[in-house]
Amino acid sequence: MEKQGSGAIVNNSSIGGLVAGPGRAAYHATKHGVLGLTKSAAVEYARQGIRINAVCPGTTETPMVAEIFALGDLDKQSYENAAPIKLLGKATEVAEAVLWLLSPAASFAIGQPISVDGGVSII
């Protein structure tokens, strides 16, 4: 990317990088760290034409989340009731945000955490 003078990187954090919650300190620390790395690298590489941002997905319909529901570690109905949008996210919605961040349409976005969480991180 440096050689060609352009490029885009999207790091994967989580709403856990934007908020905090009991019993999740280690997870939240790692996701906050991803955002710190994103911001620092974005500043470091912006002059080389490399844009670095992060996506912060909320609870998304994936096999891992289905297993969490099955184990009873998280209740789907309770989660949906608490979420402003009253739904789980879809992997395609997260992928669309990543595609936008990688596209020329996001050419002025540098070092940003983009939430794709149905509003959970703002409540």
Which residues fall within 8 angstroms of residue 113, CB to CB, at 6 or more apart?
13, 17, 18, 35, 38, 53, 54, 55, 56
Which residues fall within 8 angstroms of residue 22, CB to CB, at 6 or more apart?
none
Return d(Cα 46, Cα 79) in angstroms, integer: 38
95: phi > 0 → left, psi -120 to 50 → alpha, else beta; which?
alpha
Return d(Cα 50, Cα 41) in angstroms, integer: 9
Read off the CATH number of the domain in which 45 is found.
3.40.50.720
Residue 19 belongs to a domain? yes
> How confident is the model over 61-100, as pLDDT tens digits?
999 999 999 999 889 998 898 899 999 999 999 999 999 9
Residue 22 belongs to a domain? yes
Q: Which residues are catalytic?
A: 27
Q: Which domain holds residue 54?
A: 7-122
Residue 36 belongs to a domain? yes
Residue 13 has pLDDT above 90, yes or no: yes
Determine contact, residues 119/24, Cβ cutoff 8 Å. Answer: no
Q: What is the pLDDT of residue 104?
A: 97
> How confident is the model over 17-50, as pLDDT tens digits?
999 989 999 999 999 999 999 999 999 999 999 9
Q: What are the structure tokens assigned to 71, written together?
A: 């184990």
Number of domains within the chain: 1
